[in-house]
C-alpha cells in the first residue's frame, strides 16, 4: 500500500461520522425521554415576568411571534398588492342540491402568468345568512377531496403515483375523490357550516427545489435566488396561502369572516397552527396529528425529531431552524408557545393512538403548557392536567383528543371539530 493511500484510509477511519450519515432510530420509550425545561411563555426574554394580559399582548406575544418567525418557520411577506380573485365557476345546486359551490382562482400577481391558487368552497345551500367555514389545505388537489365531477382537476405539480392517478406530475381523473374520507363535507353542510380548501402544491410544491417554484420568487429582491436564513420556507408559504384565502373570505358575503375555522392534518396541521398563530383573523385553529414542528414539544425528542425533520424535509422550515438539529434545548421557544400564540381564541389538538411518530403525549403536553396564557387572558384553557384516555375528547377553550387508530383525519375527528366550533360560536 503506498503511503498516500494509507494516510487517506487512516484519515477516513478517524474522521467523525457526519450526523447526516447516522441512521436515525426514533425513540418510542417514555423512560428515555430526556430531561428538559420548557421556556416559560409568561416570562420575557429579558427575564421579566408577564403578569397581565396587557403585557402579554404588547410585549410577550410579539416577542414569541418574532422568535418563531426568525428561528423556526421564516418571515413571510404581506398580501401581494396586485392580487386578484377570479370566480371560475359556481353553482347553487351542487352535491344534489345541498350545497353552493364556488371555485375561485387567486392570482397572486394579478396575472395568469404569475403564481396562483384555486380555492374550492362549499356552503350550505339552505343558509339564509353568512355561515362559518372550515378552511384547510389539502394534499392531493381540490378534486381529490370529493367525488363531485364538477371540481376542476388540480393543475399544478404533483408527485407521480400512477396507482392513485398522478402521471407526469399531473393529476388525472383517476385521482378524483381520492381523499374524500378525510373531508366530511356533507356533515359540515348539515351542521350549517361551509368547507373551503386549497391544494398546498398550488402555493408551493412539496419538494425541495431551492424555492424556485411556488410563491417565493414573486417576492425576491433584485438578484435574490433563495430565501435568507430567516425567511419563509414551505410551511410558512403554505400558511401565507391560507391568509390569502382569508383575504378572499373578507370579500364574500356568504361567508362569516368572523367565524372561520382553520384546520390541517400532519404537515398541513403544522401549517394551520402557524397560520393561525400569525393571522388573528382566524377564529378557531385545529391541528390534526401535526407532530414535530406542529403541536408536539420538540424537547421531548419522541418519535420524529428536529434533526430528522430538517433532513427529510429541508424545505419546510427556515434555514435558521437547522441550528437546532439535535440541540432542541437551545431553542428559544417550544411548541406550547405556538399554541399560546392562538390564545385567547379556541385551539384544538388531535392525536391518534397509532401515530407515535407525532408524539401524542408531546402534543397533549403542549396544550397543557399553553394553558397559563389562556388563563391569563381570562379563559378556561384545557381544564385538566391529565392526558385523557383514547376517544374521550376534552372541549375546553383548548380542545384535545386522542383518537384510536392511525395517522389520518377521520369522520370521528370532524365530529369533534364541528361540536367544538358549535360550542364556541354559540348560536348567532
Ligand atoms: C412525515 C413527516 C411528518 C409529517 C407527515 C405528513 O411523516 O415526518 O412530520 O407530519 O409526513 O405530513 O404526513
Confidence band of 16 (pLDDT split at 50, 70, 90): very low
Contact 118, 199 (CB under 8 A): yes
> Beta strand pairing status for 347-352 and 284-288?
parallel
Contact 386, 363 (CB under 8 A): no
Query: How far is 339 from 287, CA to CA, in rounded Å?
Result: 10
Mean local confidence (pLDDT), 127-133: 98
Asked whether residue 15 carries a pLDDT value surpassing 80, the answer given is no
Mean pLDDT of the chain: 96
> Does residue 19 or residue 129 have the better pLDDT?
129
- For position 422, what pLDDT does the model report? 98
> What pTM does this model have?
0.95
Query: How far is 143 from 155, CA to CA, in rounded Å?
Result: 10
Residues contacting ligand 1 via CB (< 6 Å) = 266-267, 291-292, 304, 309, 312, 357
- For position 6, what pLDDT does the model report? 62
Number of Cα atoms under 13 Å in the Cβ half of residue 104: 22
Give the tens place of pLDDT for each residue, 396-409: 999 999 999 999 99
Query: How far is 413 from 401, CA to CA, in rounded Å?
Result: 9
Residue whose CA is at the smallest distance from ligand 1 atom 12: 267
**Ligand 1 test: best mutation among 159, 182, 201, 266, most atoms within 8 Å of CB?**
266
Give the tens place of pLDDT for each residue, 165-199: 999 999 999 999 999 999 999 999 999 999 999 99
- For position 23, what pLDDT does the model report? 86
- Quote the ligand 1 centre to 119 CA distance (angstroms): 24
Count of other CB atoms within 10 angstroms of residue 65: 16
Query: How far is 185 from 146, CA to CA, in rounded Å?
Result: 8
Cell of 300: 421531548
Cell of 149: 365531477
Contact 301, 370 (CB under 8 A): no
Handedness of CA 37, 38, 40, 46 (dihedral sign): positive
Mean local confidence (pLDDT), 237-264: 98
Residue 108 DSSP symbol: T
Catalytic residues: 266, 407
Mean local confidence (pLDDT), 219-236: 97
- H or E element, residue 310: helix 306-312
3-class SS at 93?
strand
pLDDT over 70 percentage in the chain: 94
Query: How far is 201 from 274, CA to CA, in rounded Å?
Result: 17
Q: Which residues in 393-425 are b (16+ Cβ under 10 Å) and which e? A: bbbbbbbbbbbeeebbbbebbbebbbebbeebb
Strand order in the sheet with 284-288: 84-93, 99-107, 116-124, 194-199, 131-138, 255-265, 284-288, 347-352, 398-403, 394-395
Confidence band of 4 (pLDDT split at 50, 70, 90): low
- Quote the ligand 1 centre to 43 CA distance (angstroms): 32
Cell of 375: 388563563
DSSP 193-229: -EEEEEEHHHHS-SS-STT-SSSGGGGPPTT--S--T
* Ligand 1 atom closest to 265 (CA): 12
Query: How far is 314 from 312, CA to CA, in rounded Å?
Result: 6
Question: How far does Cα 214 stand from its chain's mean position?
Answer: 17
* Ligand 1 atom closest to 269 (CA): 10
Give the tens place of pLDDT for each residue, 28-43: 999 999 999 999 999 9
Asked whether residue 17 carries a pLDDT value surpassing 50, the answer given is no
Strand stretches in 108-240, DSSP E: 116-124, 131-138, 166-167, 170-171, 194-199
3-class SS at 162?
helix
Give the tens place of pLDDT for each residue, 211-222: 999 999 999 999
Contact 74, 233 (CB under 8 A): yes
* Ligand 1 atom closest to 289 (CA): 10
- Where do we find the cell 401581494? 80
* Ligand 1 atom closest to 267 (CA): 12
Give the tens place of pLDDT for each residue, 333-384: 999 999 999 999 999 999 999 999 999 999 999 999 999 999 999 999 999 9
Confidence band of 13 (pLDDT split at 50, 70, 90): low
- Quote the ligand 1 centre to 267 CA distance (angstroms): 5
Contact 178, 140 (CB under 8 A): yes
Helices (H) and strands (E) counted in the chain, each on its own, are: 12, 12
Give the tens place of pLDDT for each residue, 279-306: 999 999 999 999 999 999 999 999 999 9
Residue whose CA is at the smallest distance from ligand 1 atom 13: 266
Confidence band of 9 (pLDDT split at 50, 70, 90): low
pLDDT over 90 percentage in the chain: 94
- Quote the ligand 1 centre to 266 CA distance (angstroms): 6
Amino acid at each position: 500500500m503506498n503511503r498516500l493511500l494509507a494516510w487517506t484510509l487512516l484519515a477516513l477511519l478517524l474522521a467523525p461520522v457526519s450526523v447526516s450519515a447516522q441512521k436515525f432510530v426514533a425513540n418510542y420509550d417514555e423512560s428515555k425521554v430526556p430531561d428538559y425545561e420548557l421556556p416559560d411563555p409568561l416570562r420575557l426574554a429579558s427575564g421579566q415576568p408577564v403578569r397581565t394580559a396587557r403585557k402579554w399582548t404588547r410585549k410577550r406575544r410579539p416577542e414569541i411571534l418574532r422568535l418563531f418567525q426568525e428561528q423556526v418557520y421564516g418571515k413571510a411577506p404581506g398580501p401581494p398588492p396586485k392580487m386578484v380573485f377570479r370566480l371560475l365557476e359556481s353553482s347553487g345546486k351542487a352535491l344534489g342540491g345541498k350545497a353552493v359551490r364556488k371555485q375561485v382562482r387567486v392570482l397572486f400577481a394579478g396575472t395568469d402568468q404569475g403564481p396562483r391558487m384555486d380555492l374550492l368552497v362549499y356552503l350550505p345551500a339552505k343558509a339564509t345568512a353568512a355561515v362559518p367555514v372550515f378552511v384547510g389545505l389539502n394534499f392531493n388537489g381540490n378534486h381529490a377531496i370529493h367525488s363531485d365531477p364538477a371540481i376542476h382537476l388540480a393543475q399544478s405539480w404533483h408527485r407521480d403515483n400512477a396507482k392513485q392517478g398522478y402521471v407526469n406530475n399531473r393529476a388525472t381523473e383517476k385521482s378524483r375523490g381520492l381523499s374524500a374520507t378525510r373531508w366530511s363535507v356533507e356533515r359540515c353542510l348539515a351542521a350549517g357550516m361551509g368547507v373551503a380548501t386549497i391544494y398546498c402544491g398550488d402555493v408551493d410544491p412539496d419538494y425541495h427545489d431551492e424555492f424556485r417554484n411556488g410563491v417565493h420568487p414573486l417576492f425576491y429582491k433584485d438578484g435574490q435566488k433563495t430565501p435568507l436564513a430567516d425567511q419563509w420556507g414551505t410551511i410558512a408559504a403554505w400558511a401565507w396561502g391560507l391568509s390569502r384565502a382569508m383575504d378572499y373570505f373578507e370579500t364574500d358575503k356568504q361567508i362569516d369572516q368572523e367565524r372561520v375555522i382553520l384546520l390541517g392534518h400532519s404537515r398541513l396541521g403544522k401549517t394551520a397552527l402557524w397560520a393561525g398563530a400569525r393571522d388573528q383573523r382566524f377564529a378557531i385553529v385545529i391541528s390534526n396529528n401535526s407532530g414535530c414542528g406542529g403541536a408536539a414539544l420538540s424537547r421531548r425528542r419522541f418519535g420524529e425529531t428536529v434533526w430528522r425533520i430538517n433532513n427529510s424535509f429541508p424545505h419546510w422550515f427556515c434555514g435558521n431552524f437547522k441550528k437546532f438539529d439535535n440541540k432542541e434545548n437551545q431553542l428559544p421557544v417550544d411548541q406550547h408557545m405556538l399554541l399560546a400564540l392562538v390564545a385567547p381564541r379556541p385551539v384544538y389538538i388531535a392525536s391518534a393512538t397509532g401515530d407515535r411518530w407525532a408524539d401524542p403525549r408531546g402534543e397533549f403536553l403542549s396544550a397543557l403548557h399553553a394553558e397559563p396564557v389562556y388563563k391569563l387572558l381570562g379563559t378556561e384553557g384545557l381544564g385538566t392536567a391529565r392526558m385523557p384516555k383514547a376517544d374521550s375528547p376534552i372541549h375546553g377553550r383548548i380542545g384535545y383528543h386522542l383518537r384510536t387508530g392511525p395517522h389520518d383525519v377521520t369522520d370521528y375527528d370532524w365530529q369533534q371539530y364541528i361540536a367544538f366550533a358549535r360550542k364556541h360560536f354559540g348560536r348567532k
